[in-house]
């Protein structure tokens, strides 16, 4: 009997040319299809939710495939993960894709219709210190950033807007720029992360570890990275926090800030419709 399988996936995007399969390129979708097809002994086509770009990571990507299953479902996750480990060809190193969860769903379940929203996270470290093991997962910025100004600017981006000013030239020109951002949270973590922490310690801020969380129904190509780059330019004092309203209204990409690099970006969470309704209630948008 054919089964409809829903999978939750995490991956380190460093050595991938993005999610979507491409000829002669190593991609997450292409690798999964190759490995799962080999495990099952038949060709499998996988449908994902979000097309992450090259070097972008995921803590929770979701996808589905349909197939006839001979192997018991409760063993399939282990078998696929073992095969993914063999795919990289390096003993003792965990693979850069991991199946977190795998389950059978109703045959009429369509992942594209069931997803309500997404959460993207972006990680930044500032100051002169560099942690070499973070080089593929952080955006390192020399300047100490004004977190209060960035938070003020982020409030302008929340809500339903025409985000043409944050639309990348490399994206689909026909993609609708009208998007809803339910919340943008900027968090400082670790020692000496905020001015308040530095004051209480009677010292000055010499480094910061920052996390930007974006909750939205959907996002355009590079939209999150452009928003992060713009907020960082606000934190540097290059763009005024109050200018974000004018930037949105002007719909001119040249007025917004730079595009932050891909390695700091994570697809953090995919929310199915019921879960997403709860997020919208939390932020007072339902």
SS3 for 138? Answer: coil
For residue 130, what are its two tokens? 């560099």
Q: Can you list the alpha helix ranges (DSSP code H) found in the chain?
A: 28-40, 73-88, 111-114, 147-157, 195-200, 223-236, 244-250, 273-282
Q: How far is CA 109 from CA 103, 171, 269, in A?
A: 12, 29, 19
User: How many whole angstroms separate alpha carbon 197 and alpha carbon 204?
Assistant: 9
Contacts of 197 (CB under 8 A, 6+ apart): 188, 191, 205
User: How many whole angstroms separate alpha carbon 28 and alpha carbon 11?
Assistant: 8
Catalytic residue, from 12, 53, 96, 233: name it. 53
Cα–Cα–Cα angle for 223, 268, 74, nearest 5°? Answer: 140
User: How many whole angstroms separate alpha carbon 163 and alpha carbon 175?
Assistant: 11
What DSSP state is assigned to residue 15? G
Angle between helices 147-157 and 223-236 (to 10 degrees): 140
- Identify whether 12 is a catalytic site residue: no
Q: Which residues are catalytic?
A: 53
């Amino acid at each position: 009997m054919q089964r409809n399988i829903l999978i939750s996936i995490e991956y380190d995007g460093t050595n991938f040319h993005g999610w979507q399969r491409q000829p002669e390129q190593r991609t997450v979708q292409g690798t999964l299809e190759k490995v799962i097809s080999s495990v099952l002994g038949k060709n499998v086509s996988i449908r994902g939710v979000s097309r992450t770009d090259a070097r972008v990571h995921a803590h929770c990507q979701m996808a589905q495939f349909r197939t006839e299953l001979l192997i018991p479902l409760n063993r399939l996750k282990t078998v696929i993960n073992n095969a993914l480990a063999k795919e990289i060809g390096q003993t003792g190193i965990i693979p850069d894709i991991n199946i977190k969860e795998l389950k059978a769903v109703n045959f009429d379940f369509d992942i594209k219709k069931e997803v309500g929203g997404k959460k993207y996270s972006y990680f930044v470290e500032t100051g002169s210190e560099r942690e070499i093991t973070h080089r593929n997962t952080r955006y390192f910025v020399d300047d100490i950033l004004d977190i209060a100004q960035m938070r003020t600017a982020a409030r302008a981006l929340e809500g339903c807007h025409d985000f043409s000013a944050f639309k990348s030239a490399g994206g689909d020109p026909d993609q609708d720029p009208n998007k809803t951002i339910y919340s943008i949270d900027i968090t400082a973590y670790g020692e000496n992360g905020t001015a308040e922490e530095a004051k209480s310690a009677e010292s000055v801020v010499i480094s910061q570890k920052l996390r930007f969380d974006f909750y939205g129904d959907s996002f355009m190509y590079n939209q999150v990275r452009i928003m992060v780059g713009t907020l960082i330019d606000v934190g540097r004092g290059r763009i005024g926090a109050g200018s974000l309203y004018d930037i949105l209204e002007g719909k001119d990409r040249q007025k917004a800030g730079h595009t932050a690099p891909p390695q700091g970006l994570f697809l953090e969470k995919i929310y199915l419709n019921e879960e997403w309704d709860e997020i919208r209630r939390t932020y007072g948008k339902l």
